[in-house]
Structure 1
Amino acid sequence: MYKLTALYSRSATDDKQAIDKQMTELNNYCEENNIQNFKHYIDNNESGANLNRPAFKEVMQDLEAGKIDKIIVTNITRISRNLSGVAQIIHCQIEPNQARLITLDSVEYRLDDYNPEHGFFSDFTNKLRKKL
């Protein structure tokens, strides 16, 4: 059985254009990388401060059910604006389920990236600073 690639999009406001842009970028990445078995999960008008979002919960349920091997987002902040929340999701849910988190604006995040010397925190912090 082939596992799904979860393509997750989120906008904090009711912004269909922002969601459409993310979906286009994710679709293009799949096409360029020959990823054919994917599913879009979309949370529109949902804050990144809240992890209790309908589509995100569905991603986590499918992940824990063994249906997903990759989660792809355009930017790490689509998962959460909370750095410790992202680290916890990677450490406690994504990696134990033998999956990967890929962001289009960076690289794949793994457990060994938690060390600031390996770039996870510094990369994430630099991105947040640029947005502020």
Structure 2
Amino acid sequence: MHKLTALYSRSATADKQAIDKQMTKLNNYCEEKNIQKFKHYIDNHQSGANLDRPAIKELLQDLEAGKIDRIIVTNISRISRNLSGVAQIILCQIELNHAKLITLDRGEYRLDDYNPENGFFADLLTKIKSEL
């Protein structure tokens, strides 16, 4: 049985159209992949510079409570503009809780993956992991 799929959207501006576009793309992906059990987590008018956002906090709490098995975003910058922050989330929260992070523009992010598109990101995750 699948757990909940988290669909996360964020916009730094109060532009509702930006959120609507992300939600439409995420809903279309779920329809294409036959994902039926999902929940939208939305941070509108919230900066990606830090993680002090209501919806991302709720999402991470649900993840740690074992309710979520995958998180889907349109692109990695929706989670955070800080790549080391994203790497910490993947390493210390997403993978620790046996979940996946999927971006519509790049696919799944995992520590095990290394390819030219994810090269920098994979190197950063490996470095952070070795420092823990």
TM-score range, shorter chain: 0.7 to 0.9
Q: Is 1:89 aligned with 2:105?
A: no
SS in structure 2 at match of 1:105:
coil
- Report the equivalent of 1:16: 16
Per-residue CA deviation, residues 51-75 of structure 1 (Å, 9 max, x unaligned), is 0100000000000000000000001
Task: Looking at secondary structure, tell me which structure has more helix per residue.
Answer: 1
Tell me the distance in 1 between the aligned counterparts of 2:46 and 2:96. 26
TM-score norm. by structure 1 comes to 0.87
Residue segments in structure 1 that go unaligned for 5+ positions in a row: 125-132
| Residue 38 to residue 90, structure 1, CA distance change in 2 (3 Å) | same
TM-score norm. by structure 2 comes to 0.87
- How far does residue 49 in structure 1 lie from its aligned partner after superposition? 0.3
- Report the equivalent of 1:65: 65
Residue segments in structure 2 that go unaligned for 5+ positions in a row: 123-132
For residue 48 of structure 2, what is the amino acid of its counterpart? G
Aligned residues: 122
| Residue 43 to residue 105, structure 1, CA distance change in 2 (3 Å) | same
- How far does residue 123 in structure 1 lie from its aligned partner after superposition? 6.7
| Residue 95 to residue 118, structure 1, CA distance change in 2 (3 Å) | farther
- Report the equivalent of 1:129: none
What is the 5 A alignment of 1:118-129?
A: 119-122=117-120
- Report the equivalent of 1:40: 40
SS in structure 2 at match of 1:42:
strand
Q: Is the 8 A contact 1:41 1:56 kept in 2?
A: yes
Q: Is the 8 A contact 2:71 2:100 kept in 1?
A: yes
Tell me the distance in 1 between the aligned counterparts of 2:58 and 2:121. 27
| RMSD value, Cα | 1.7
- Report the equivalent of 1:106: 106
